[in-house]
Every structure is written in structure tokens, then in C-alpha cells.
Structure 1
């Protein structure tokens, strides 16, 4: 359980990314959040129940010269 005040949002909350990072591994490209979610640099996730969430990056927009 989260011991932070105010408590971190649960993994089921829509704002679950606002949870505190409890283990950072930038050399491996992932962080463990207080709510048990593993967040990857490519925006993919593994939820505490084992479900995987595909990366949800916004597509880069290309500028077209006129």
C-alpha cells in the first residue's frame, strides 16, 4: 500500500501515472510506480495484475515544405 500523503492513485485510476516512482531504471528504460505499475520509456505499461498496455505515443507530425 501507498504510504505517501496524499495517497498515490491506484493502478486502476485514470491518473495512475501520477503515482510516485519508487524504483527508477533509466538505463533499462523503465520505472516502477508506487501503485505497482511498471512504465516503460516507450509509454507501454505492465499493470500489477499482469496485463500489458501497448505504447500510446502520439504520432510525430511531419512538416511539409510548400
Structure 2
């Protein structure tokens, strides 16, 4: 099967091809958006992860099938 040629852009209602998209100026870097991280949320997430790891490590101790 021969490859199909790429489709031509559809003309607008004025009969002309659509304009090229406006690109940002490369000389000016985009401002960086910083997302604040709450220390309490980070500590709470770490505590939950440590609790789950502790439960996973302690489960074989309580399970009689591992003895």
C-alpha cells in the first residue's frame, strides 16, 4: 500500500490558509512557577509511609505460617 500524502491545511472562511501559531519570544525565559511544599504535609506523608513499612515488616512476626 503506497503511503498517503499529508493533508493540506483547510482554508479559512476568507480563502487563505490559517496563520502560523504565535510562539513566545525565546530571548525571554518563561517565569518559573514554584509550588510551595508544606512541611507538615511532607512529614505526615513520611509518617504514613513509615507506618506502612513497619506493618509490612511486623506482619511475618505475627503470622504463624512464617514460623
TM-score range, shorter chain: under 0.3
Select the structure that is richer in helix.
2
Structure index of larger Rg = 2
Select the structure that is richer in strand.
1
User: Relative contact order, CA 8 A, sep 6+: which one is greater?
Assistant: 1
